[in-house]
Amino acid sequence: MSVADPRVAVVTGGARGIGRQVVRWLAAEGFAVVVGYANDTDQAALAVKEIVEAGRRAIAVRADVADETAVAALFDRTEREYGGVDVVVHAAARTAAGTIADLDLSELDELHRVNIRGTFVVNQQAARHVRPGGAIVNFSSSDVGLAPEGQAAYVASKAAVEAITLILARELRGRDVTVNAVAPGPTATDLFFDGKDEQTIALLAARPPLQRLGTPEDIAEIVAFLAGPAARWVNGQVLRANGGIV
């Protein structure tokens, strides 16, 4: 990589929500960004258009994060386009609510596929490709610590993300690559608002001492920190970004 070449970031789930804001922040920090997405071609294209119009570099690549062949192709395309990979932000995930007694097991299987297998597959490729001085950032959830009723399947999947994060940080000993996770609390995204009434949203917004929902910008700034030079001594950690909910 020459002095003039930008650092390169892969962001899964980069077409919408927190992932989309992470794409914006990393591009603003000077990264060439690869927007990984599953289905939302139009939003991924808009994300790329926004970055390119701002004078930065970006492409969108479609990949199911649980499909190892597709994810390997995503990383290969990144290296062909930009010469390497410095940062991987794995923001792609899904959620499902339901009590242990009542949850449809097909929902559990899909959570396992996307949140656990998807994290493992993306981290496997990241471990093989990220250059020295790079960073891998996964997404957990503050619900892992809060253990709310009706969220057992989702929380279990995100607890697995935390385990993968810590173990990979140890397995990359000597590589000069950090591995951390961000665990947001309630954050104002389309996914968060989906299916919630105004009373539920108000109750969740009142829980943090800061008396508001998080924003995608709040979380993206933390990711940018973990991906940047100021966080080189932060490794194998889960940063609970939730405004103070305990």
* Domain containing residue 105: CATH number: 3.40.50.720
| 202 within a domain of the structure (yes/no) | yes
- Residue 227 pLDDT more than 80? yes
Decide if 56 is inside a domain: yes
- Domain span at residue 195 reads 8-240
* Residue 233 confidence (pLDDT): 97
Is residue 246 assigned to a domain?
no
Average pLDDT taken over every residue of the chain = 94
The catalytically annotated residue of 25, 154, 192, 225 is 154
* Domain annotation covers residue 135: yes
Residue 66 lies inside a defined structural domain of this protein: yes
Using the predicted structure, report yes or no on whether residue 69 has a pLDDT greater than 50: yes
Looking up tokens 């385990």, which residue turns up?
163
- For position 4, what pLDDT does the model report? 59
> Does residue 144 carry a pLDDT above 90?
yes
pLDDT of 191 strictly over 80: no
- The pLDDT score that the predictor gives to residue 188 is 87
Q: What is the pLDDT of residue 3?
A: 46
Give the residue-averaged pLDDT of 119-142.
Answer: 98
Domain assignment present for 95: yes
Q: How large a percentage of the chain has pLDDT more than 90? A: 89
Our count of domains for the chain comes to 1
- Tell me if residue 37 is catalytic: no
Let me know if residue 79 belongs to a domain.
Answer: yes
Does residue 60 sit within a domain? Answer: yes
pTM over 0.75: yes
Length of the chain: 246
